[in-house]
């Protein structure tokens, strides 16, 4: 009886990420992974912690937004790099202001 209760409490401690945060995290990971020879999606999935099918959806969406491109491996476009820089600034601002989003 105790075990399910513990699971629930752990799940409550985990914060929900909205789509914006997932996009930001994904861009950050892709940016660091693209420095390697080839971006392996399984490694990206392990780092970002989302199901593989959803990861592919997010990648398609980012590609449609012009933030990433596949040439031949996945990497950030200039627009994607700019967005990532601004997103990091926003995160830093939110942290400094004591907001707990």
Partner 1 sequence: MDNTPLIVVEVVSAIVCFVLVWFMVKPYRTTGESRYLGLPLGFAFLGVSYVLMGAAYFESFHFVQETKWLQLFTQTYAFTFLAATYFFSKKPTKHSRLWLDLTYAALILLAIVSYLAVVEPLIFGLPSYKRANEYLLLFNIICLAYISIHTLRSHASKPDPKTIWTPLSYILLSFGQYSLFIWSVDSSFAAYVGAQFLRLSGLLILLFVTYQAFHAPHETPQKEGIHNEKASA
The single residue among 1, 6, 19, 81 that binds partner 1, judged by CB under 8 A, is 19
Query: Do 50 and 58 meet the contact criterion of CB atoms below 8 Å apart?
Result: yes
Size of the site for partner 1 (CB under 8 A): 35
72-91 residues in contact with partner 1 (CB under 8 A) are 83, 86-91
Decide: is 61 part of the binding site for partner 1 (CB under 8 A): no
Query: Do 20 and 91 meet the contact criterion of CB atoms below 8 Å apart?
Result: no
Binding site for partner 1 (CB under 8 A): 14-22, 24-25, 28-29, 47-50, 54, 83, 86-101
């Amino acid at each position: 009886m105790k075990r399910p209760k513990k699971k629930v409490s752990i799940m409550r401690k985990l914060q929900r990420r909205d789509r914006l945060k997932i996009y930001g995290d994904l861009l950050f990971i892709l940016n660091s992974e693209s420095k390697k020879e080839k971006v392996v999606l399984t490694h990206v999935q392990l780092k970002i912690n989302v199901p593989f099918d959803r990861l592919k959806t997010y990648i398609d969406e980012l590609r449609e937004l012009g933030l990433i491109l596949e040439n031949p491996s996945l990497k950030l476009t200039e627009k994607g790099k700019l967005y990532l820089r601004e997103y990091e600034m926003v995160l830093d601002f939110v942290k400094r202001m004591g907001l707990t989003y």
